[in-house]
Structure 1
Amino acid sequence: MLPESNEDWIEQLLKLSDEEPKMTEKQTKILHAAIEIFAEKGYAAASTSEIAQKAGVAEGTIFRHYKTKKDLLLSIVLPIMAKLVAPFVLRNFTPVLEAKYTRYEDFLRSLIRNRLEFARQHLPMIKILMQEIPFHPDLQEQFKTEVMNEVLTRIKKVIVFFQQEGQIIPLPAATVVRLTASVIIGFLITRFLLVPEQEWDEEEEAETCIRFIMHGLATR
């Protein structure tokens, strides 16, 4: 089963706009099952028979609604995910980006803790996004436009502030974002996707990331 938070988010996925047809109960079950299996195995390794079994429907039911497995992915999961990808990724992130900090490392600490909790609660959805975004240009564009631009704009403001305060060396803000993100995203990917079975002291790892970033960016 997906965590409760993911169940809540799936319910949001099902609240389609008025001009789009509402899903039947069987389509809803198929969506739930597809998200779980796509997240667990990836699109290529998933089978419609597995999805049907988990959804509690006959495999033929899937093909009555969606001609192929690809059609299932493109017609249900990705379009709806694309529609809500920005609020999903930015969920609970805005307070971190808008809060006032006295030190850049305090901002980093808040950022890492926030994204650790987000990843812990929404791992199945994150897996699907990471697996499928590289192969679907429309979803890539949606992600860049509605997520990356929003996040980058806000983080650049934070960086410029701390550069003006003399805490960060005067590199281009985009470069500071890239260097910071490389460390933090690398930590999150390793923690949740590459070696999740490892014994993790998240607080210590977070502090190590912060020290590493600040060693390269601090003005003194």
Structure 2
Amino acid sequence: MDKGYIQQLLEVDGEPVKLTEKKAAILTKAIENFAENGYAATSTSEIAKQAGVAEGTIFRHYPSKKDLLMAIVKPGILKLAVPYFADQMIKEVFDPDKIDLEELLRTFIYNRVRFVKKNVSMIRIILQEIAFHPEIQQTFKQTFLLKVYPNVKERVESLQQKGKLKDFPVDTSLRFILSTILGFILHRYIFMTESIINEEQEIEHVIQFILDGLQYDHRSE
């Protein structure tokens, strides 16, 4: 985990991040320790020791250990919930007049798989700490509700009106899609240690499972 990775992780909406070597070292060791040992069991003194800085240097950048955690988690949540190509994807791939739900799912899943593979430690921190920190829960909720939900809701309703999707409540459809995709990704890339024999085939099975659940079967008509 180097300075370039940390800088890229913290960048949001293309805004450059000023990162000194010391600050990069602090964030690197904080991520490693929070992911491996958990937030509660990690001390700022240990992070400082591993980063090669005085503990006071951490508090000059981050007033508290919680602030250090949130500095790491907030951009991680944003990038986990909102793919970097989200706006373009909504406009081009999720166009109600020419939508291809199968291709949208494929694009989204492969993008999220690549993100999770590259950010395993970050994902572990979010999963470990979200139940204990209302701030993390609120960040996740606001990110999804403000940046994802309105666009997706509009497109799902459009597909339902065109008879391309079953007329389930939109929230039900979204929960089905997201829980299936996230369940697959977390199980395969965070909780499992063995490699996937045929990753492409497994992803295609996930896509087909979602399509079978949401689309009408016109073969019998």
TM-score by length of 2: 0.77
1:114 paired with 2:111, answer: yes
**Aligned equivalent of 1:86:** 78
Q: 1:201 to 1:42 in 2, by over 3 A?
A: farther
For residues 73-95 of structure 1, give each alpha carbon's deviation from its aligned partner in whole angstroms, at most 9, with x where no partner exists. x1223146437743564242413
Give 2:8's aligned amino acid.
Answer: D
Match of 1:173 among 170, 174, 183: 170
Q: Retained in 1: the 8 A contact 2:29–2:47?
A: yes
**Aligned equivalent of 1:19:** none
For residues 2-57 of structure 1, give each alpha carbon's deviation from its aligned partner in whole angstroms, at most 9, with x where no partner exists. 595444224779947xxxxxx87545422221122212332234344542343123
Q: 1:98 to 1:124 in 2, by over 3 A?
A: farther
Could you tell me which runs of 5 or more consecutive residues in structure 1 were left unpaired when the two chains were aligned.
17-22
* Residues in 2 aligned to 1:78 and 1:96: alpha-carbon distance in whole angstroms: 28
* Residues in 2 aligned to 1:129 and 1:214: alpha-carbon distance in whole angstroms: 29
Q: How does 1:9-28 map to 2 (within 5 A)?
A: 9-10=9-10, 15=17, 26-28=22-24
SS of the counterpart of 1:135? coil
Q: Retained in 1: the 8 A contact 2:6–2:27?
A: no
1:202 paired with 2:207, answer: no
* Residues in 1 aligned to 2:211 and 2:3: alpha-carbon distance in whole angstroms: 35
Shift of residue 213, structure 1, vs aligned partner: 1.3
Q: Retained in 1: the 8 A contact 2:83–2:112?
A: no
For residues 169-217 of structure 1, give each alpha carbon's deviation from its aligned partner in whole angstroms, at most 9, with x where no partner exists. 1111111000111110100101111103233422111111111112222
Q: 1:27 to 1:116 in 2, by over 3 A?
A: closer
* Residues in 1 aligned to 2:120 and 2:103: alpha-carbon distance in whole angstroms: 25
Q: Retained in 1: the 8 A contact 2:10–2:76?
A: no
Could you tell me which runs of 5 or more consecutive residues in structure 2 were left unpaired when the two chains were aligned.
none
Q: Retained in 2: the 8 A contact 1:6–1:122?
A: no
Q: How does 1:74-153 map to 2 (within 5 A)?
A: 74-79=66-71, 81-82=73-74, 85-86=77-78, 89-94=81-86, 95-100=88-93, 101-153=98-150
1:56 paired with 2:48, answer: no
